[in-house]
Chain A
Amino acid sequence: MLEISEIIQEKVAEHGRERKALLPILQSIVNLKNYIADKDMVQIAEALDISAADVYGTASFYSFLETEEKGKYVIRVCKSITCEMKGKHCVLKALEDTLKVKLGETTHDGLFSLEQANCLGLCDVGPAMLINEQPYTKLTPDSVHEIITEYRNKVK
């Protein structure tokens, strides 16, 4: 697994030891483990010579830059109006049932976190969700079960 310090080094080499390297660094860490830990932020702050509060303030602005620990797969169900019209509620319910967690929680095995997101840009094929960066569309309670099972099997 790539170390946080390696990520930082790589991005600093690419963007310079400047503030503009911040989001690429944060994104890379999220790509790696779905959230940014306190100590990562301290390390980034040091590397870019900015304050840790600024790193936190910036990260907390963006919905994908989680600063709390998340599961291996973050599920983001689109909550915009068209997905809602197409049955988002049933999809969400199905997810809660199969994962046995409530919205905003992470499964005990640390595999899945269940979240909602604003418009995913998949309005014509809703209800939609992302699992990490992979989109899933035209969801039904049944398809949701299948998708989750697939992920579970993948891990096994």
Chain B
Amino acid sequence: MTTIKLKIDGHTIEVEKGTTILEAAKKINVKIPTLCHHEDLCVAGNCRVCVVEVKNRHRLEASCAVPAEEGMDILTNSAKVRNARKDIVSLLVSEHNTQCTTCYRNTNCELQDLAAEYNVDGNRFLSVLKPNLSIDKSSWSIEKDDSKCIRCQRCVRTCAELQHVNALTAANKGHEMKIATFMDLPFNEVVCTNCGQCVNRCPTGALTERRYFDQVWEAIGDPNKHVVMNTAPSVRVALGEMLGYEVGTRVTGKMVTAMRKMGVDSVLDTDFTADLTIIEEGNELLTRLKKVVKDGDKSIKLPMITSCSPGWVKFIEHMFPNHLGHLSTCKSPQQMFGALAKTYYAEKKGIDPKDIVSVAIMPCAAKKYEANRPEMNSSGYRDIDAGLTTREFGLMIKQAGLDFKNLEDTAFDSIMGESTGAGVIFGATGGVMEAALRTAYAVVTGRKVPFENLNITPVRGTDGIRAASIKIEGCLPEWNFLEGVELNVAVAHGLKNARVIMDEIAAGKSKYHFIEIMACPGGCIGGGGQPIPTNAEIRAKRTKAIYEEDMGKPIRMSHENPEITQIYEEFLGEPLGHKSHDLLHTHYQKRHRH
């Protein structure tokens, strides 16, 4: 390792060759402001906010892009630097719709922070904001407001580098340069998967989720409506960030209380349908294996791939429309929940399903779209009436004026409120796989998976693609055909990695039986509806919290969830049965690629 010595603001520091000035400064806790820079993305160097002075150079250098060199003498806060930065921030403001008070990102905006920090003068420059910009609200999930865009291209890089979707591009040049979709078409007409990763990385309010919380308040206030809320596993480990807690704090009990205090009629858990997903999907996998291994049925597709991430589902529909047979037919936990809320739940509670308003609190932007897919009405009604993000939900709690930190912890309502640790870990990449293996192994062998504490660590972690194989031994008689089979599984998160997996499948080279794919880096804990900002450290802390929540659960295998047993006995009959088919399974459609 070659190292380099340089001086930053008078401090001498030694860093590895190739380290940027920005990284070097960070090492000695010198904060240099940035806008286009994002830890998850490659360097752009286009906003120029991070400029610093290198002694004996007339021009300033963009610290995010310029590597430290031996002997550099750097000033990060000289008058020259401050004036230049102030000019640059002022320029961005002059191009910006500065109606901050009406902006969804008000008080959580990087441009606003910098403008305040540099005390920019609104009259320094003329406004060059383009007139007549309209907001694209065509998508169920994502809203694009060009008047708030600072053209940092983080969204473009996110969509390209992390997601390999490339729905967004910089278009035109010069003063006409803007962020656009193909031909600047509305969002709902292009390949956008609705994953919302661009929203998570947008420094301003240019890209946001479509908001539906007003409709939810409306329903809550309507005495004739019975509002049922279900919260996804990863919401409880991230919501706290919006309400004054350290990253990685679990707030499950307070969250439940808050919903009740907000006036929600029934506070239920998506984790319950996560457990249900495991039963259905696990059985689907075993059935497919049986058909392939035992019956030699060539029409059955392996590997089977999970279908609970709606961003991923839309991705495969656009990008690999000829391989939809690999997707599990199981609906996502959200949609299973919706279908059951207006059938099983309504029946049990004696409520007319037309009066039920089912609301899903999700870490996700794509769930909004999923809820509105035309086919998602198997209950006879819209199965899910509104999908909200963790962020919208956090805002609702603030709107309700609740003193969140001092709320007591309470438990979910019943029925459809009981869950296991297996349902909880759906929230992190690898979790669905782990939950499925815990149950499938037990079903096939009658024994627990051979991992300490049921923690299947090979499928955990942050590598983009993780593979594992489990040898199935000591099968129960009816599963004898699986005896000795090496079950190959893989986990991928981030659509970039999904593409790698799919390219293998398309080339006929995939060796796997079962694959979990999540659209978002880190899985749902890094979802497009989670609190902003995001980075690897934040995602790691949320992940840790998810696994802690799992360890704290008395039951940690989906098939042992008593409410699951109950629903099969009382309502569904058997996994993959008739009712399941109607309510819990779905189909997919081919889509174009632009």
Contacts and interface: CB of A to CB of B under 8 A. Distances in A.
Q: Describe B's contact surface by its main secondary structure.
A: loop
B182 interface: yes
A50 interface: yes
A51 B180 CA distance: 13
A61 B174 CA distance: 9
The CB with the most chain B CB atoms within 10 A, among A58, A60, A61, is that of: A60
Interface string B142-176: 00000000000000000000000111111111000
Contact of B171 (A41, A42, A46, A56): A56
B169 A56 contact: yes
Contact of A60 (B168, B171, B190): B171
Contacts of A54: 166, 169
The CB with the most chain A CB atoms within 10 A, among B168, B181, B594, is that of: B594
B590 to A, nearest CB: 14
B507 interface: no
Interface residues on A, range: 10 to 19
A58 B180 CA distance: 11
Interface residues on B, range: 10 to 19
A51 B167 CA distance: 7
A53 B593 contact: no
A146 interface: no
The CB with the most chain B CB atoms within 10 A, among A38, A53, A61, is that of: A53
Contacts of A67: 183
Interface in B178-214: 180-183, 190-191
The CB with the most chain A CB atoms within 10 A, among B167, B169, B180, B190, is that of: B169
B594 A51 contact: yes
A121 interface: no
A45 interface: yes
Q: Describe A's contact surface by its main secondary structure.
A: helix
Nearest to A50: B166
Given A42-B594, A45-B593, A53 B167 contact: yes
Contacts of B180: 53, 56-57, 60
Contact of A51 (B165, B171, B172, B183): B165
A45 B594 contact: yes
Contacts of B166: 50-51, 53-54
B593 A56 contact: no
A57 B180 CA distance: 8
A52 B172 contact: no
B169 to A, nearest CB: 3
Contacts of B171: 56-57, 60-61
Given A45-B593, A45-B594, A46-B593, A52 B173 contact: no
A144 B169 CA distance: 40
Closest 7 A-B residue pairs measured CB to CB? Answer: A57-B169, A51-B166, A52-B594, A53-B169, A53-B182, A52-B182, A60-B171
Interface of A: 38, 41-42, 45-46, 50-58, 60-61, 67
